[in-house]
Amino acid sequence: MNKFEILKTYFGYDSFREGQELLIDAILNGQDVLGIMPTGAGKSICYQVPALLLPGVTLVISPLISLMKDQVQALNQAGIHAAYINSSLSETQISKALQLAAEGRYKIIYVAPERLETYEFLQFAKAVELSMLTVDEAHCISQWGQDFRPSYLKIVQFIRQLSKRPIISAFTATATEAVKDDIACVLGLSYPRITVTGFDRKNLYFSVETPKKKDTYVLHYISEHSGDSGIVYCATRKNVEAVYEMLLEAGVPVTKYHAGLGNGERKQNQEDFIYDRKPVMVATNAFGMGIDKSNVRYVIHYNMPQSLENYYQEAGRAGRDGEPSECILLYSPQDLMINRFLLESKEQNSEFGEDELKTIRERDEERLRTMSYYCMTRNCLREYILHYFGEAGSSHCGNCSNCQKEFEEIDVTEEAKKIAACVRELRQRYGINVIVGTLLGENKAKLREYHVSDYQSYGSLREQTEAGIKEIIRQMMMEDILTQTKDKYSLLKLTAKAKELIEGLITIQIKKPKEDPQAKDALRNISVKQRKSDILNTRGLELFDTLRELRTEIAREESIPPYLIFSDKTLTDMCVKIPFTREEMLGVSGIGENKYKKYGERFISRILDFTGKRKEKLYFGELEEAVSGTEMKTTRKAAKAVKSEFYITPQQAQEFPYKERYLLPELAAALSESRNPDTMKKITGAEIFRYLESRDYVTEKRVDGRWKKIISEKGAEAGLFLAPRISKTGTEYEDVYYDEKAQRMIVELYVK
């Protein structure tokens, strides 16, 4: 097989993405490589494809246990033999894995860096043919990086001890020059092929909002995106608890994560999220390291984070599958205060001296300021981010909230000159509030104390508002005409560039949004890149939901996260292409031979059932358009909005086909049967289950790596019982059945 055949057969993709082919070719030529690519760009393929083509074994060094497990599961899903070795395994398991590896059973082995030191592992590495050593998250080797891991330095010693030096490939998402040089140097890469692919994540929509009530905004947004998976980040545990309670109350399938929860609860909640049992996560920034969930459709920041680095990393957890996703930051001026407080109360490492602490504090303050400018800028948000990370973006991306708002430019050069004059006249000894008060000609006790009314500037911008002047000052800071000192008092100072303003060499403009909400909506509808499933019509969306349910069903049977079976993108492509045969199914993006063998027929049979074996067109527009998924005519929102919540009439309840026993999905399907699908949403087994769970009839726990349903006493009384069931893949497991009494109770719930 060649690299293209491997990509198609194992991963189900037709072409390589930017940068991938180049790195793969270099590796296959025996060259070391360093790939710098943002999250979601597809780093794994860059070493997994050559690993299959090289004669021996590829070792992948990875710092996070959870990530290793995920990657290995994904590879095994694709029919590639892989294993991991880390401290989550027992000694016996490790020996067993090494023995199988020595027999050549695995092409790819993931290990934690600590493992490289052990005698047993080194013996193994010397004995097998090591074709390549891959260093994932390679920035961990750099002391300049945000998360330096001393254990990464062991990689270098390890390589030295090998009898033959393998090809070395390193990958990271961190782009700064210092880190890049460090990686190449410390790892001793020899004439490496280095590629840096752009940091722009085109599928992410960025927006900053300043809603009056954040809670209302969040609740509204989440209910409009029900069924989607998303993360809400809050600055404090207290906020997490409050937002979580609010959403729970409103019936959202939500879970939470912060450092104040016990280990067990954190683990359980994280799994609930990953397995889509509870697709909405409310968390502090403690959540997310090593989370590889590909179908996160939105990341909302309830509070402004402390730095743009943090923001881009957290927001970047949206849309790893490349599907359009949204990153929304809810800003209020209070956020700045919360963050200052958090920074001040941050535990400082006692190894630092007074001077170092001061530098750290200043740097933190600087980062915070950059972040708050992001919230206030009227220019393209994407360009702001890319510029910060040292990349030139276009000044208009068309896919952020600022690019979609209409602004008018207002010249404020004269006002800016008066502000600069005031700062100068007051000898740069005051903070922003005194300056603004002086310009406004205010008569406050504090201002009287400073005798500001003696100055010429006093009242020189009397006709302006406080907010108006502050906005101009902000603009002057962004344009580097004014700066604030980094100490506690934040005095306003002029920079060298201020001279140019005073001499009339430059002009200053600010942008004000045009208040025309209709224009904004219209604009949004045409220019926002819609997610792939948005191209589906009402029936298409229904097929999508049906396939999504099947995916969940299989995920439960096999105890793997749903996104490891098929991504949302693959399901959408199925709804567009409606495959009936093996050939047609293999033409769907993300379906390779192995995935077809495992799941193809089940999905085909579900599609045949749904369509009644007739090919239908389930998307808007032309196929070309549907497949490339660009501009759209109607949004998913619009299609969904017209449907009512599910209910049945008393008459329908009486005629319901009660049976001796039902499984929940069957019962939900029988219930949904009676509605008009064009006007009413259907009810799913998962929804009913969640309701019963919230009322303590039944619950679900992971036991020995499998989901197990547990019926409470109350549930047993109501008519729930366990009985064996055989999955389509042949494994036997227990599932919950509902007797007639329980069926009646459930049906009652939906009578209106």
Query: Contact positions toward Zn ion, by CB under 5 A?
Result: 380, 382, 397, 400, 403
Q: What is the DSSP string of 277-329?
A: SS-EEEE-TTS-TT---TTEEEEEESS--S-HHHHHHHHTTTTTTSS-EEEEE
Least CB distance from residue 39 to ligand ADP, whole Å?
4
Q: With contacts defined by CB under 6 A, how many residues of the chain interact with ligand ADP?
A: 17
CB within 8 A of 501, min separation 6: which ones?
Answer: 413, 416, 417, 420, 476, 481, 508
Does residue 317 interact with ligand ADP by CB under 6 A? no
77 binds ligand ADP (CB under 6 A): no
Which of Zn ion, ligand ADP, none sits in contact with 403, Cβ below 5 to 8 A by type?
Answer: Zn ion
Closer CB to ligand ADP, 13 or 217, in the complex: 13
**Binding letters toward ligand ADP, positions 260-299, x by CB under 6 A:** ----------------------------------x-----
Between residues 294 and 303, which has the closer beta carbon with respect to ligand ADP?
A: 294
78 forms part of the interface with ligand ADP (CB under 6 A) = no
Indicate which of ligand ADP, Zn ion, none lies near residue 380 (CB less than 5 to 8 Å, by partner kind): Zn ion
Q: What is the DSSP letter of 573?
A: H
How far apart are CB 558 and ligand ADP at their closest, in Å? 19
Rounded Cα gap, residues 376 and 550, in angstroms: 44
Residue nearest ligand ADP (C-beta atom): 42
Tokens of 327: 């990153």
Only segment of 9-17, 158-166, 212-220, 387-395 that touches ligand ADP (CB under 6 A): 9-17
Tell me which long-range contacts 548-555 makes (C-beta under 8 A, separation of at least 24).
548/227, 549/665, 549/684, 549/685, 549/686, 550/602, 550/603, 550/606, 552/276, 552/686, 553/665, 554/599, 554/602, 555/275, 555/276
- Give least dist CB 535 to ligand ADP, A: 18
CB of 13 or CB of 620, closer to ligand ADP: 13
Does 17 contact ligand ADP by CB under 6 A? yes
Nearest-approach distance from CB 346 to ligand ADP, in angstroms: 29
Where does this chain touch ligand ADP (CB under 6 A) — which range of 42-50, 97-105, 356-364, 612-620? 42-50
Q: Which long-range contacts (CB under 8 A, 24 or more apart) does 726-732 make?
A: 727/557, 728/557, 728/602, 729/557, 729/558, 729/598, 731/557
Residue 16 binds what, of ligand ADP, Zn ion, none (CB under 5 to 8 Å, by partner type)? ligand ADP
Q: By rule CB under 6 A, what string of x and - marks binding of each residue 196-235 to ligand ADP?
A: ----------------------------------------
| Binding mask of the shown chain, residues 158 to 197, with x at each position contacting ligand ADP by CB under 6 A | ----------------------------------------
Query: What single DSSP character describes residue 14?
Result: S
Which one of Zn ion, ligand ADP, none is in contact with 320 (Cβ closer than 5 to 8 A by kind)?
ligand ADP
Judged by beta carbon, residue 173 or residue 688, the one nearer ligand ADP is 173
Cβ distance 589 to 13 under 8 Å? yes
212: its two tokens: 């009056």
Comparing CB distances to ligand ADP, the nearer of 16 and 311 is 16
CA distance 152 to 135: 9
Contact 48, 134 (CB under 8 A): no
- Smallest distance, ligand ADP to C-beta of residue 18, A: 9
If the CB atoms of residues 137 and 442 are measured against ligand ADP, the closer one turns out to be: 137
Q: Which of 45, 61, 218, 541 is in the footprint of ligand ADP by CB under 6 A?
A: 45
Those residues whose C-beta lies under 8 Å from the C-beta of residue 222, and which sit 6 or more positions away, are 230, 232, 247, 252, 280
3 state DSSP class of 408: strand
CB 746, min distance to ligand ADP, A: 37
Q: Between β-strands 662-663 and 130-135, what pairing exists: parallel, antiparallel or unpaired?
A: unpaired
Q: Would you say 204 or 274 has its CB closer to Zn ion?
A: 204
* Among positions 6, 9, 10, 16, the unique one binding ligand ADP when judged by CB under 6 A: 16
State how far the alpha carbon of 647 is from the alpha carbons of 129, 632, 669, in Å. Answer: 63, 31, 13
Nearer Cβ to Zn ion, position 24 or 403? 403
Q: Token pair for residue 328?
A: 């929304």
Residue with Cβ nearer ligand ADP (229 or 294): 294
User: CA-CA distance, 594 to 729, in Å (whole number)?
Assistant: 14
Stretch that binds ligand ADP, among 16-24, 208-216, 524-532, 547-555 (CB under 6 A): 16-24
Using the rule CB under 6 A, give the single segment among 302-310, 316-324, 359-367, 728-736 that binds ligand ADP.
316-324
Query: Least separation, in Å, of the C-beta of 290 and Zn ion?
Result: 30
**DSSP assigned state of 27:** H
Query: Does residue number 76 form part of the binding site for ligand ADP (CB under 6 A)?
Result: no
Query: What is the closest distance, in whole angstroms, from the C-beta atom of residue 633 to Zn ion in the complex?
Result: 23
Pick between residue 389 and residue 733 the one whose CB is nearest to Zn ion.
389
Residue 348 CA: distances (Å) to CA of 306, 339, 344, 480, 525: 16, 16, 9, 31, 48
Binding of ligand ADP at residue 137 (CB under 6 A)? no
382 binds, among Zn ion, ligand ADP, none (CB under 5 to 8 A by kind): Zn ion
Interface with ligand ADP, residue 39, by CB under 6 A: yes
In sequence order, what DSSP letters do the residues of 42-72 get, joined into one string? Answer: -HHHHHHHHHHHSSSEEEEE-S-HHHHHHHH
Choose among Zn ion, ligand ADP, none what residue 397 binds, the Cβ cut-off being 5 to 8 Å by kind: Zn ion
Exposed / middle / buried, residue 29 (Cβ in 10 Å: 0-12, 13-18, 19+): exposed
How many C-beta atoms surround the C-beta of residue 732 within 10 A?
8
> Taking the CB of residue 607, how many other CB atoms lie within 10 A of it?
22
Q: Say how far apart CA 77 and CA 80 lie, in whole Å.
A: 7
Contact set for ligand ADP, span 527-586 (CB under 6 A): 567
Distance of CA 552 to the CA centre of its chain: 20
Nearer of residues 359 and 394 to Zn ion, judged by Cβ = 394
Structure tokens, 489: 């008092």
DSSP 392: -
Q: Which does 400 bind (CB under 5 to 8 A by kind): Zn ion, ligand ADP, none?
A: Zn ion
Q: At 38, list the tokens.
A: 């943002």
Q: Is 323 in the site for ligand ADP (CB under 6 A)?
A: no
The three-class DSSP label of residue 219 is helix
Per CB under 6 A, residues contacting ligand ADP are 13, 16-17, 20, 37, 39-45, 294, 320-322, 567
